[in-house]
């Protein structure tokens, strides 16, 4: 049961430490390359003068509440804590059932 509690605590700490995102994400090299390019405003040189630079899309490593896909992106708070909660519940239920089903508890 201690291992399950440790898994739950660890997943919540990782979630908080990586920015508390809804979905698990990993750095995307294409997004980082697009953010690094500064010549995007040249694409629209014929359009009206634009003074604001486009906002950079965030590319971070984050353990989210929910998984965002297969493979490494399936790691999330739910995928780690969910089975641990089920095991804790099962241990509690079986322990309670064992106590109420024993002859000593009936007297």
Give 34's pLDDT tier (boundaries 50, 70, 90): confident
Residue 102: predicted pLDDT: 57
The residue behind tokens 């294409």 is 30
Is 95 found in the same domain as 69? yes
Is 20 found in the same domain as 71? yes
Is 49 found in the same domain as 9? no
Give 36's pLDDT tier (boundaries 50, 70, 90): confident
Average pLDDT over residues 74-94: 95
Is 99 found in the same domain as 78? yes
Count of domains for the chain: 2
The structure's pTM equals 0.67
The residue behind tokens 């997943």 is 11
Is 94 found in the same domain as 69? yes
Is 102 found in the same domain as 50? no
Query: What Cα–Cα distance (Å) separates residue 91 from each residue in 88, 98, 107?
Result: 5, 10, 24
Is 105 found in the same domain as 54? no
Asked whether the predicted pLDDT for residue 40 surpasses 60, the reply is no
Asked whether the predicted pLDDT for residue 20 surpasses 70, the reply is yes
Which residue range(s) make up the domain with 91?
1-24+63-107
């Amino acid at each position: 049961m201690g291992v399950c509690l440790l898994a739950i605590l660890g997943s919540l700490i990782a979630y908080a430490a990586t920015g508390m995102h809804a979905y698990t994400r990993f750095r995307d090299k294409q997004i980082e390359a697009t953010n690094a390019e500064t010549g995007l405003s040249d694409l629209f040189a014929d359009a009206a003068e634009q003074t604001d630079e486009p906002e950079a899309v965030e590319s971070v490593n984050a353990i989210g509440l929910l998984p965002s896909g297969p493979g490494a992106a399936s790691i999330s708070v739910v995928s780690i804590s969910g089975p641990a909660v089920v095991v804790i519940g099962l241990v509690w239920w079986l322990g309670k059932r064992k106590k109420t089903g024993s002859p000593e508890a009936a007297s």
